[in-house]
Structures are given as structure tokens and as C-alpha cells.
Amino acid sequence: MGELWDLYDENRNPVEALHERGKDLPENRYHIVVYIWTVNREGKILIDQRHPDKHFGLQWECTGGSVLAGESSLEGAVRELGEELGLFIEQKHLQKIDTVRVKDRFVDTYLNITDAKVSDLVLQETEVVDAKYVSFEELIQLWEKGMFSPRERFKRYRDKLEEIVRRLEGGHDID
């Protein structure tokens, strides 16, 4: 059996059911996905490049993935950073900056401030082929060229991410 997800109703109440990744979700059922924006103290944003065999292959993205059965959103975010980038952090280092229900999922977006360097990362070969830090302007350029995913949801927290980057560039802490 493959990866299993907990299922939720439209109000994010758990339902007594598990779902196997790759199969069609039942109608009016949702799972949880997490995105994690990792930013260093200089205001540079860590992005990774999707494996070419994945949907949206070779596009750049922030780290993310589906929350597994039995995990909280926060636990899933910590696991995804560890699995995909070899970046192991504690839950207390993540700050939720957005949540939204779309199509068949709830998407929770987190912020992670780090001192990690790209050379510290260990990329998951089946998921990620490259990683780099970019400025907010470089990120916007990738997004405008259609080389960054998720395309539409990025609009929801673009201003918040820019505010965080500017504060860090100015030497300020993030509350």
C-alpha cells in the first residue's frame, strides 16, 4: 500500500477514513498539503527544483507535500523539510502564514527562518534536483516566466512574503 492520508470534510473536520495517494478522492473529501517558505536572515528565499518526472517537472517551488495519516499539519511540514532537503528543524521554528481550501485539499503555508546554507542540504533524489537561495525580485521573475509553482496560490501570500523578506533584509526579527 502506498502513502496514506487522513480525510476531512469541507469544514476540515476529520472523517473516519484513510485515502491512498494516486487514487481519486471521494466527493466532498479533502486532505492536507503543506508549503514551507524557508528564508535566511539576509532575506534570501530558499527554493527547490522539482524532479523532471514529477508533475510540473523542473519548475521551482517552495518545499511542500501532503500530510500523512496520523500527522498534524505542523508535523507534516517538519517531515517534508527533512525528507526533501535534509533540513531538520523543530516545530517551534515554523510560523503559519496562510491556510486555504482549494479543490480537494486544505493548504497550510508556513514560514521557516534559517541559517542553513545550500551546501548543508541533502536533496531527496526522487523529488528535488536542485536548490538555491534567491532574492524576492528573482522569485517574482521566475513566477512571471511561469517557472515557479504554485502559480495561482502564490498571489495569496506574495505580499506577506515580501514583507517578511524586507524585514529580514533590514536586520529586523520576524514576530
- Residues 88-110 pLDDT 10s: 999 999 999 999 999 899 999 99
Q: For the residues 156-169, what does the mean pLDDT come to?
A: 91
How far apart, in whole angstroms, are the C-alpha atoms of residue 53 and residue 114?
29
- Residues 106-152 pLDDT 10s: 999 999 999 999 999 999 999 999 999 999 999 999 999 999 987 77
pLDDT greater than 80 at residue 1: no
Average pLDDT, the chain: 94
**pTM recorded for the entire structure:** 0.93
Q: For the residues 160-175, what does the mean pLDDT come to?
A: 88
Confidence of residue 175 (pLDDT cuts 50, 70, 90): low
For 97, phi and psi rounded to 5 degrees? -115, -10
Q: What b/e string do you get for 125-164 counting C-beta neighbours within 10 Å, with b at 16 or more?
A: eebbbebebbebeebeebbeeeebbbeeebebbeeebeeb
pLDDT greater than 80 at residue 56: yes
